[in-house]
Structure formats: structure tokens, C-alpha cells
């Protein structure tokens, strides 16, 4: 069977794929373009796409009888794939849950601490040669220990973040989730996103990207934040109304923000780049070799199961 891998992956993944399938590895690191997407459906039995490979309804409509029967997404988020349209076209879709949980939670912690303690700003000061030495009131930030964490979306990743904050930093936890959730740690579920934003010193967004979560966090939510509050997004960029975030920062409705994802990646608004109270990472959520290997091997497990006629381990 012919397999297309849309982006270079760790060598262990490519070696396993090439040993099992007639594998084409696309060399570009950018998302597939419109014609490449259509060719993927038309010319391959199996496709292993990832973030930014936009398999929209329009793409499927242009290939009414696709050869491809599986899109084995590299990543837990699959909002770049119209899964309902894929299913209607007879194409299964899988993802890689679990493999990304700890790494993404660790990135959230990185952003929480960097934003709260002004670490990015401080490093820029040192690199610019502007640091004049220690003094007692220099660059005072937010002490996160003992504060309240608010989590929007209490799935695997949200729970991993909450556990790190509660057990590691003694933080109380409040959260909002679309359905009732019972956890094996102390946490209080609140009824709305603004309630969580108002109750927390640190807010982390950990919902999946989808049409339902597009601009889930907007002006109303930001207006509820505490003036010293830290806002962190490690979910998907378009979950947050980026213009509303910028307006809230400019209005002093929060103390700092930490972002690993952006609404129009890889474009980052100059208004965010210019602010010292915002930490900006280049979508590093799962950027560790062993994690990316695990993601790739999990995606291949789905590909191999499909090829062997077995149940898919991770259907969406």
C-alpha cells in the first residue's frame, strides 16, 4: 500500500514506515498546499498528515472517489481535518492521544512560570546589556505557589496541568468543562468560563480545536480576569480571539500572557511581539524527540492496523 507522510518525522518513525509500506516522505516542513492535498487523496492509499494540512470539505469535494482510505493524523488535535466529510467520503481519521499529554502539560508550566515571573523580559534585559544588577524591587512578578489555577477544558492535558499545579505548587484548582467531570484530585467545577477567569490567578486553556471552540475565549472572558492574572494558551490558536486578547492586554485586564499557539500561525501580531508582558513560544508543545517519536509510532500503529484489517486504536 502507498503511504504519504506529509512532513519529515523522527528517523525511527520513517524507518518503520518505509519497512512496511511503499512510503513517500514529503521533504517540506510547511503544510501541504491545495493541489498536494488533493493529490494525497487521489494518489495514495494511506496518508499521515499533521498540523496545518487542511483537509477541508472543499478538498474532499474535488476528489469525489478518493483512493485514500485513512488519514492517520500526527497529533491529538485534528481541527485541520473535516472529519465528518472524510467519514462521508469513506475515509477513516485517527489521532495520537496520550502521547502528547505530559509534554504539552510541561509546556503549559513553562509558560505559567515564564509569564508570572517575567522570565522572557528578564532574559531580554540581560542579553541587551541593560541589567544593572540585583536590587530588592527589580522585576517583581507573581508568586504562583498557593494561588488559584483555572483550567478551561479538563481533558487529559487539562488534568495533567492541574495535577502539576496542585501537587507541585500547592495551587487550588477551579475549572470549566463542557460536561460534568469528577477528578481524582481536589478541584471545583464552575458553571462558566467567565466564572473561572474571575476566580483564578492563572488561567490555562486546554480545549481541543474545533468549530465549536473557535473564539471560545473572547472579550467577555478577558473582562472577567483579575488585573494580575496570567493567561496561558497551549490548545489551538483560534480557540482565542487574538484581537480580544490584545485589547485586554492593552486595557490592563490581565497581568501577563503566555502563548504557544496563535490564531493565524505562523503569523504573530506585532502588537503581541512588542509587549514585554507576553511570552511567545513557537508551538513547542510536544517538541521533544522521544515525544515526537511516540506520536509518530502511534500514528503508524493506526496505519498498520488499518492495512491489516484490524480495529483502529485511535479513531476520532
Match 478551561 to its residue by C-alpha cell. 152
* DSSP secondary structure code for residue 283 in this structure: S
Compute CA distances 302 → 22, 48, 104, 306, 315, whole Å. Answer: 16, 10, 22, 6, 8
The CATH architecture to which 2-99+288-307 belongs is 3-Layer(aba) Sandwich (3.40)
Q: Which of 285, 245, 287, 248 is nearest to 269 (CA)?
A: 245
Q: Which of 163, 300, 155 is nearest to 235 (CA)?
A: 155
For residues 118 and 97, the answer to whether their CB atoms sit within 8 Å is no
Backbone angles phi, psi at 150, to 5 degrees: -115, 130
Show the beta-strand stretches assigned E in 190-312. 202-205, 230-233, 256-259, 278-280
User: What is the structure's pLDDT at 243?
Assistant: 98
Q: How far is CA 311 from the centre of its chain?
A: 27
Q: Which of 146, 149, 141, 147 is nearest to 120 (CA)?
A: 141
**Is 101-280 in the same CATH topology as 2-99+288-307?**
yes
What kind of fold does domain 101-280 have according to CATH? Rossmann fold (3.40.50)
Percent of the chain with pLDDT over 90: 98
- Cβ neighbors of 37 (< 8 A, separation 6 or more) are 53, 54, 55, 59
pLDDT, tens digit only, all 316 positions of the chain: 999 999 999 999 999 999 999 999 999 999 999 999 999 999 999 999 999 999 999 999 999 999 999 999 999 999 999 999 999 999 999 999 999 999 999 999 999 999 999 999 999 999 999 999 999 999 999 999 999 999 999 999 999 999 999 999 999 999 999 999 999 999 999 999 999 999 999 999 999 998 899 999 999 999 999 999 999 999 999 999 999 999 999 999 999 999 999 999 999 999 999 999 999 999 999 999 999 999 999 999 999 999 999 999 999 9
The model's pTM: 0.93
For residues 151 and 161, the answer to whether their CB atoms sit within 8 Å is yes
For residues 115 and 257, the answer to whether their CB atoms sit within 8 Å is yes
Active site residues: 236, 265, 283
Distance separating alpha carbons of residues 32 and 51, to the nearest angstrom = 10
Angle, CA of 243, 209 and 207, to the nearest 5°: 95
Instruction: Domain ranges for the chain, please list them.
Output: 2-99+288-307, 101-280
For residues 171 and 165, the answer to whether their CB atoms sit within 8 Å is yes
Report residue 253 as a C-alpha cell.
Answer: 485586564
Q: How far is CA 313 from the centre of its chain?
A: 21
Distance separating alpha carbons of residues 55 and 86, to the nearest angstrom = 8
Amino acid at each position: 500500500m502507498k503511504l504519504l507522510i506529509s512532513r519529515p518525522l523522527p528517523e525511527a518513525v520513517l524507518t518503520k514506515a518505509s519497512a512496511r509500506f511503499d512510503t513517500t516522505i514529503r521533504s517540506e516542513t510547511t503544510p501541504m498546499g491545495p493541489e498536494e492535498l488533493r493529490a494525497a487523496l487521489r494518489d495514495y492509499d494511506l496518508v499521515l498528515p499533521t498540523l496545518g494540512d487542511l483537509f477541508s470539505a472543499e478538498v474532499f469535494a474535488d476528489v469525489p472517489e478518493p483512493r485514500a482510505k485513512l488519514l492517520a493524523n500526527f497529533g491529538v488535535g485534528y481541527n485541520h481535518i473535516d472529519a465528518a466529510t472524510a467519514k462521508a467520503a469513506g475515509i477513516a481519521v485517527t489521532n495520537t492521544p496520550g502521547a502528547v499529554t505530559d509534554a504539552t502539560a510541561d509546556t503549559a508550566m513553562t509558560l505559567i512560570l515564564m509569564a508570572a515571573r517575567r522570565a522572557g523580559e528578564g532574559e531580554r534585559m540581560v542579553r541587551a546589556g541593560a541589567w544593572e544588577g540585583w536590587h530588592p524591587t527589580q522585576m517583581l512578578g507573581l508568586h504562583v505557589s498557593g494561588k488559584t489555577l483555572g483550567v478551561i477544558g479538563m481533558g487529559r492535558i487539562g488534568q495533567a496541568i492541574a495535577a502539576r499545579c496542585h501537587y507541585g505548587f500547592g495551587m487550588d484548582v477551579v475549572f470549566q468543562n463542557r460536561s460534568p467531570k469528577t477528578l481524582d484530585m481536589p478541584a471545583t467545577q464552575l458553571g462558566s468560563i467567565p466564572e473561572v477567569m474571575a476566580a483564578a490567578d492563572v488561567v490555562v486553556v486546554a480545549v481541543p480545536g474545533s468549530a465549536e471552540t473557535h473564539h471560545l475565549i473572547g472579550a467577555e472572558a478577558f473582562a472577567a480576569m483579575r488585573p494580575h492574572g496570567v493567561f496561558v494558551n497551549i490548545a489551538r490558536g483560534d480557540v482565542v480571539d487574538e484581537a480580544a486578547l490584545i485589547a485586554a492586554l492593552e486595557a490592563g485586564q490581565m497581568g501577563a500572557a503566555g502563548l504557544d499557539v496563535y490564531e493565524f500561525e505562523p503569523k504573530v501580531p506585532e502588537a503581541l511581539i512588542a509587549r514585554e508582558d507576553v511570552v511567545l513560544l513557537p508551538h513547542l508543545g510536544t517538541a521533544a524527540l522521544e515525544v515526537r517519536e511516540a506520536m509518530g509510532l502511534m500514528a503508524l500503529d493506526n496505519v498498520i492496523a488499518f492495512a491489516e484489517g484490524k480495529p483502529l486504536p485511535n479513531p476520532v
